[in-house]
Amino acid sequence: MNTKIWLSSPHMSGHEEIFVKEAFDTNWIAPLGPHVDGLEQDLQTFTGNSHAAALSSGTAALHLALILLNVKPGDLVICQSFTFSASANPIVYQGAIPVFVDSEKDTWNMDPIYTEQAIEDCIRKGKKPAAIIVVHLYGMPAKMKAFKDLSERYDIPLVEDAAEALGAHIDGKMCGSYGKLSILSFNGNKIITTSGGGALLSSDEALIKKARFLATQARDQAPHYQHSEIGYNYRMSNVVAAIGRGQMMVINERVNQRRSNFERYLKYFTEVNNRGFRIDLLLEPDGFFANRWLTTITVEPEKNKGITRETIRVALEKDNIESRPLWKPMHLQPVFANSPFYGNGTSEHLFETGLCLPSGSNLTEVDFARIFKELDKVFEGV
């Protein structure tokens, strides 16, 4: 069996070990420490956002975002349906109710028109939503101008889930700087990783200060342990932050590598399409810059001689190459079966026809030769 080609595997630069060694040499094997401060600084500089708190995960960051926005039991929170479950779960941690909204076709992210319908409907029924969670899926920015406008017009705070989008931007304004609160993830398969970790960002210093307080067990100022609020253990450790600092040294390279993967697939499928197929890749709208965390395709069997995304997935699997269907929308998940949904089936159709291809920044020439060889068999076999 050939070695496995992963969808997206960690890609260390060599700098990480130097930072980690420093943590060991100084015995900063603790939550907090100089690397945590350093990583926060790096994230602020890179995203252009003014304040950041390094945390244990992106999910923890989303949970704290909702706590800081005072989301309470019974509140309604609007959330992109086409996403990973971690975008929506923290709504339920707070006892609030997710209201899911479908995608639009240009970016695959939340549709501003259905979002407005959802907001209006919630208000009509007597409850203005407490927050809006928008996601930049697969590293493609959502239509943030429209969401900023909705957020201001209805006075509902925007939470930006940029877990998949570090390095993406619209007209130079970086993902991670759009929300009242924005979150990042450094989980093992993201564009950079700390093995596990995340961050919360905001231009409001008071919110980030409060986040750091809540993330370290909400300890009041006193010589003894005194608490007047419920706290969490959500802070990033100094050792983990050391890995993050090494990764931030190569973030621009990682974005370029992922984007060049996309260009390679685009060239390959353009040639395939010239032979009578129609495999679609998501292109960037004007001014949008995707980090191309994952390259994704959609495959309509009617336009591809009966080939489905499963045909391709199974063919790749034969040579130990990982690919994966697109995220199953939250409104179709059994656990969210009773949640309201606004949309027209766009994300459902993407789920049915879409596939994520191997997209790691560490893919080699040999890896690509194997991938294209298996794909050739699919398109030559019909």
CB closer to ligand PLP out of 160 and 374:
160
Give yes or no for a contact between 103 and 109, defined as CB atoms under 8 angstroms apart.
yes
- Closer to ligand PLP at the Cβ: 90 or 378? 90
Per the document, the length of the chain is: 382
Give Cβ neighbours of residue 124 (< 8 Å, ≥ 6 apart).
none
Task: Verify binding: residue 87, ligand PLP, rule CB under 6 A.
Answer: yes
Beta carbons of 102 and 82 less than 8 angstroms apart: yes
- Toward ligand PLP, which CB reaches closer, 254 or 370? 254
Q: Which is nearer to ligand PLP, 90 or 279 (CB)?
A: 90
Q: Tell me the closest approach of the beta carbon of residue 282 to ligand PLP, in angstroms.
A: 16
In the window 192-221, what residues touch ligand PLP (CB under 6 A)?
198
- Convert residues 41-70 into a mask of x (bound to ligand PLP by CB under 6 A) and - (unbound): ----------------xxx-----------
* Choice between 176 and 378, CB closer to ligand PLP: 176
- 100 near ligand PLP, judged by CB under 6 A: no
| Nearest distance, CB of residue 192 and ligand PLP, angstroms | 12
Answer whether 377's CB lies under 8 Å from 315's CB: yes
Which tokens go with 200?
Answer: 């919360």
Between the alpha carbon of residue 150 and those of residues 62, 143, 288, 349, the distances in Å are: 20, 11, 20, 26
Q: Which stretch, 82-90, 253-261, 298-306, 347-355, contacts ligand PLP (CB under 6 A)?
A: 82-90
CA 371 – CA 5 distance, rounded (Å): 9
Return the number of the residue (187 or 347) whose C-beta is nearest ligand PLP. Answer: 187
Cα separation, 29 vs 240, whole angstroms: 9
Axis crossing angle, helix 238-248 with helix 34-47, rounded to the nearest 10:
30
Site string for ligand PLP, 145-184 (x = CB under 6 A): ----------------x-xx--------------------
Q: Give residue number: closest CB to ligand PLP.
A: 58
Q: Which alpha helices (DSSP H) does 216-326 contain, by range?
A: 238-248, 251-274, 309-318
Q: How many residues bind ligand PLP (CB under 6 A)?
A: 14
Helix axes 309-318, 365-380, angle to 10 degrees: 130
Distance CA 293, CA 184 (A): 13
| 3-state secondary structure at position 105 | coil
- Residue 291 CB, nearest distance to ligand PLP (Å)? 12
Contact positions vs ligand PLP (CB under 6 A) = 57-59, 83-84, 86-87, 135, 161, 163-164, 185, 187, 198
